[in-house]
Every structure is written in C-alpha cells, then in structure tokens.
Amino acid sequence: KETFDAGGKILLPGLIDAHIHIESSMLSPARFAELVLPHGTTCVVADPHEIANVAGTEGIRYFLDCARSLPLGIRLAIPSCVPAAPFEDAGAELPAETIKPFMKEPETASLGEMMNFPGVLGGDGDTLKKILAAREAGLGVDGHAPGVLGRGLDAYTVTGIGNTHECPSKEDALENLARGAYIFIREGSAAKNLKALLPCVTPLNARRFALCTDDRHAEDLIREGHMDHILRLAVAQGLPPVGAVIMCTLNAAEAQGLKGKGAIAPGWDADLILVDDMQNFTVRRTWVGGRLAAMDGYVLQPLKGPDASALCQSVRTAPLEPKDLELAIPSGKARVIRLSPGSLLTSSLICDVACDSEGRFAPEKNPEICQVAVIERHKASGKIGLGLLAGYGLRGGAIACTIAHDSHNIVVAGDSKAAMHAAVEELIRIQGGCAVCVGSRVAGSLPLPLGGLMSEDDPRKVSQTLAKLNSLAHEALHIPQDVDPFMTLSFMALPVIPSLKITARGLFDVDRFTFTSVDAGKA
C-alpha cells in the first residue's frame, strides 16, 4: 500500500490506443513502450500484421512474448489477412487453422482487421472460418472496409465485425455507426481522420467512438507524443475534455473487450496517469498495474524485450545482377505508375518512352520517369517485378527498403541499374532496412534487423538516421519535399489500393484485379 500526494493535479485512467501496428514505428515493442509510457499510454491493441507477413507465427509469438514481459499493456489483434492477397509473395501464409491457437491466449483481444472484405462478401470459406473461430473464442473482430456501404456493409457487419478505423468520410462513419459498429477515429502519422470525423460525435452516440493511431512514426512519437497528442487535438477542435478522455479510455476498453481497463474504480486495473490539466494533457506520471512506470517524460528504467533472434536474417534473395533489372519495352509505349501527391492512390499513365537500340528502357533519356522493382526476399525465389514510376522525381541514384506493404519484399527505385543494384545489395548486407545510393555509391542506410521492419536501437538514433536518409533523398536524389521518400515507395507494392501497383510478380492493375504488362503496345 502506498500513498501519493498528487499536488492538486488530475488523475485519469491510462490512455488506450484502440488499434495500432507497432512495426510502423520502426521500433521493437520495447523501444516503442519507452516512448509511449511517458505520454500516458498504458495499453495498446496491436495488430502484428507486418511482422506476421515476414515471419508468420514466429512474429506473432514474439509479440505475445513482448506482451508478457513489458510494462506496457499490449493486447494482440491476431492478423487475419496474411498474405494480403492470394497472389502476393509474403514470408508466410496464415489460414484459419494456423491462427486459431493464438485466439486462446489471454493476451489476445480480437481478430485483426478483416481487410479481405471481398472474401467476406463472397463467402470465402477460410475467411469466414477465421471470423467464426474468433467469435467462438469470445473475441471481437476488427473491421477494414472503406467505401463499403449499404447492403454490402450489411453483409460485412452481420458476420460479427464490430468496429472500423477505416472511415475516410462522415458518410462511412455514420453508416457503420448505424449498424452498431464502434468507430475508431484515426489520427496517425499517415492517415488523419480526426478533423473530418469529430463532427459525427454527439452526446447521444459519443460512447460508440474511440481513438486510435493505426500507424505512428518514431519521429512523431518523439516530437508530438501518442494518445495525449490526439487528446490535445480533439479538445482544440471542440470536443469536451471529459468526452475526449472517455473515448481514449473506457470506450476503447469496452470496444476491444479489455476487462478491468478504462476507468478508475475499485477492483479495476490501476493503470493511471497524472496530468497538469485537461487542455494540454501534459503527463507527469504513469502507473501500470499500480506500479510507477514513467515520470516527467522518461521511463524509470530501460526496457528490454524478449529474444528476437528468430526474426533476424530475414532477407533471403536469389543472386542478383544489374542485368536482372533491365526492362524491355519493345513497342516504346509504356504503362507507368503515376503518383498522386499526398495519397496512396496511383493512376495508370500510358506514354511513349525512349529506349536503347535493343528496346530496353533508357532512364537517362526519360528524366520524368524512374524505374521501380520489387524483389522477393523471403524464400530466394528469384521473382522480380519491374515497372516505371512517374511523379517520384528521383534522379541521380536509387532508394530501397524492405518495408513494402504488405508482403514486405524489397522495393527499389532508381535511374540506373547500377544504382538500384547497389541499394539492394546494401539491404542484403544489413539484413533489412532502408538505403540511399547517390550514383552507384551507398550514401547511407538504416538497419532494421527485426524482420527488415524494426530496430532495437535507441528510438532517437533510429529517428535521426531516417531523417538523414530522407534529407539525402530530397537533396541528392531530387525527390520533391511533399513526397515522403520511403513511405511513398513502400505503398507502391500494395496491390489492394488502386489503381496500378507493382509486386514481385509484375505490374498489377488493381481496378481490373489482374496482372498487366509494362509494355502498353502489347496486344
């Protein structure tokens, strides 16, 4: 028993992130916890979808071990869509029978976001088995079906899917709300929906809203904070402070079935935070389970996660030569991926391109277009998908990373085979991460040894190294300032977001849901 004088400050329940992919911070869960505990986050519902695409069940087990050993409350949303699409070359496949045992673990909160909404609507057997298994285990099912409205949304939610963080519009939120779903208002590093969705919140429906980040980069966690940052934004935009806190505590706990969390009451978990006021939410102390975990911006002791050796040495490629990156376009007419600034959406651009005497794409003759490739890196299959990218602005080298949603193969863009090859070889050498080449010389890299996605290094070191690589990409490779070099590149490989993307099997037309040729002159 301990008595503490709060000095007139305000005691609140610990803050809860209702949905996050910790891997997006590029930090191990232990390093992530070091950043968020001082900001008052005491529990997160983490979907280890990214590491599961690389390491399969080993990735999920690692997150379970983290949940059992760290002071941050980590509850798992078991990944439901690995791989994200049937034609993807991920590091693992996780059918219903494989993930069912994880549903029985006490650290499991839900079945992770069901991105395969076509499978739900079409009655795909394995997809429905996963949902049924989760419900039989007493778990909730997280949703992900942006733009699915009306009768389609009826069919999606009737399966038992109970929440969504994918509401790009007020209409999406209200339609999901009308069907009884919890709405997780997302305010992350990439997707920001708080301003658009707060007007949906009324005194009558406020208990059906929670807050989440989905993805939060280390730099933003260091500079702005975590859930405390969202509270500040919400209150600044007119949400009553008490209502904002309820959304970030009790609502999130109830939506995700986190018993004993989200309130200060006898018999409940003593996850508590001390703040100066209800506008700035400056966190002075954080207790988890009654134990002081952080004070005045720092954790009380360094946090060490479980052994992660099973996730390392994850970059396994077939031998690669510069000539393997040659792109033949005999007709001289190409189908090009065109970026949309500030959006994950791309479009398909058909244009004439200059080629050499043997019909191969000549980067030096096409200054507005760079080459892009996805190289399978899980099973050394030798698969390489080649394409062209407009709007990225890259000139004078190459950029590459092993973060390539959602299968996380190697994605590389450049204006010469030599530069692209050098960037890929650097990723193989450091066993995953990010790399920038100026000319064909490696100018900098960030090792992410845990699955090619995460680092156990000091978060500030990781953030500073990434910032230097981004500066190199902007200044030496001429990528526009309004284009995030690595994040933009990482989503070029996601073949479920329209309209044209690139995978290890080649160029993919998302609208027609079929592979297509870079050579637009082919019959």
Helix extents (H) in 330-449: 417-430
- Domain edge (last residue) among 249, 267, 300: 300
- Report the pLDDT value the prediction gives residue 523, as an integer from 0 to 100: 57
Co-location of 272 and 331 in the same domain: no
User: Do 345 and 222 reside in the same domain of the chain?
Assistant: no
What residues form DSSP beta bridges with 445? 435
pLDDT digits (tens, 9 = 90+) for 291-338: 999 999 999 999 999 999 999 999 999 999 999 999 999 999 999 999
> To the nearest whole number, what is the mean pLDDT of the chain?
97
The arithmetic mean of pLDDT across residues 449-476, rounded, is: 98
Predicted local confidence at residue 511, as pLDDT: 87
List residues bridging with 450 in a β-sheet: 454
Q: What is the rounded average pLDDT of the residues 380-408? A: 98
Query: Residues 328-354: pLDDT tens digits?
Result: 999 999 999 999 877 888 999 999 999
Fill in the amino acid letter for 385. G
Q: Which of 249, 269, 300 is the last residue of a domain?
A: 300
Shared-domain flag, residues 237 and 151? yes
Q: What is the mean pLDDT of residues 112-131?
A: 96
Burial (CB count <10 Å: 0-12, 13-18, 19+), residue 238 = exposed
In the listed set 300, 332, 356, which residue is the last one of a domain according to the structure? 300
Best CA proximity match to 500, nearest among 484, 520, 515: 515
Angle at 208 between CA 203 and CA 209, to 5 degrees: 90
Please state the three-class secondary structure of 274-287 as a single string. EECCCCCCCEEEEE
| Statement: residue 1 has pLDDT above 80 | no
Closest CA to 33 of 65, 72, 76, 74: 72
Residue 202, classified by CB atoms within 10 Å of its CB into exposed (0-12), middle (13-18) or buried (19+), is exposed
Does residue 308 lie in a domain region?
no
Reported as type and span, the H/E element at residue 272 is strand 272-275
Containing domain of residue 391, as a range? 322-516
> pTM of the full predicted structure?
0.96
**Is 360 in the same domain as 505?**
yes
Sign of CA dihedral 392, 397, 403, 408: positive
- The string of DSSP codes covering 130-161 is HHHHHHHTT-EEEE--TT--HHHHHHHHTTTE
Backbone torsions φ then ψ of 192, nearest 5 degrees: -130, 110
Model confidence band, residue 35 (pLDDT cutoffs 50, 70, 90): very high
Beta-bridge partner residues of 442: 437
8 has a pLDDT exceeding 80: yes
- Amino acid in position 173: A
* 294 and 339 co-located in one domain: no
Give residue-wise pLDDT tens across range 214-233. 999 999 999 999 999 999 99
211, 255 contact by CB (below 8 A): no
Same domain, 296 and 326: no
pLDDT band at 289 (very low <50, low <70, confident <90, very high): very high
Residue 66 belongs to a domain with what CATH number?
A: 3.20.20.140
Closest CA to 101 of 128, 75, 78, 125: 78
The tally of domains found in the chain comes to 2
Task: Flag whether 1 is in a domain.
Answer: no
AA identity, residue 383: K
Judge if 344 and 269 occupy the same domain: no
Supply the pLDDT for residue 108: 99
